[in-house]
Amino acid sequence: MSNFRGCMEVNFFGTVSVTKSFLPLLRQAKGRIVNISSPTGDQPFPCLAAYGASKAALNLFTETLRHELVPWGVKVSTILPSSYKTAPSSNNAYWEQQHQQLLQSLPPALMEEYGEDYIAETKNLFQSFAEHANPDLSPVVDAIVHALLSPQPQARYYAGRGLGLMYFLYDYCPISVRNRFLQKRFLKKTLMPRALRNQDGSAGEPRPQQQRQQQQQ
């Protein structure tokens, strides 16, 4: 819950607070509001529920502001960057610290269900994804400049490679195709959670205790 609250405080409530403080001046000057969000606020990226939920809230807040501020001449834009290499996500020590904190905070029952090797593989996948992210931030900077200075700024800026295909699949393809794309592209897992494995490491039938838990859920 601390992860969910932390993401909401920074990505949503922080933005709402700053925007609220400056709105009188923005209305008076017919200014601009440009918020940096993420495609994770529109699409269900695996293992990013807390971050994605905060960005989804930010997206809806920004879109609502855009409609509400039309009478005042205030233009509102959302920047949606693809994956970029930024500190500390490209720092190996950061990922190791996050991994250790997660291991220490997980309840023993949850650790037993997933297994330390499953958690380590997930960490390695995210670390690898961050290491291969684009180091050139110029598309994001260009989008921000255009949103601030253009006489007719766009409501949304998709800054970076791969976003066109991603949104096309999400908007026009069946859910099964979208799910397969997200799983294959962003979470290339080779391990199943420990509770779902047979002795040979492959997926198996849930244990009796699991079946009871699933029925209760």
Known catalytic residues?
A: 51
Spatial contact of 46 and 183, defined as CB atoms under 8 Å apart: yes
Handedness of CA 183, 189, 193, 196 (dihedral sign): positive
SS3 readout for the chain: CHHHHHHHHHHHHHHHHHHHHHHHHHHHHCCEEEEECCHHHCCCCCCCHHHHHHHHHHHHHHHHHHHHCHHHCCEEEEEEECCECCCCCCCHHHHHHHHHHHHHHCCHHHHHHHCHHHHHHHHHHHHHHHHCCECCCHHHHHHHHHHHHCCCCCCEEEECCCHHHHHHHHHHCCHHHHHHHHHHHHCCCCCCCHHHECCCCCECCCCHHHHHHHHHC
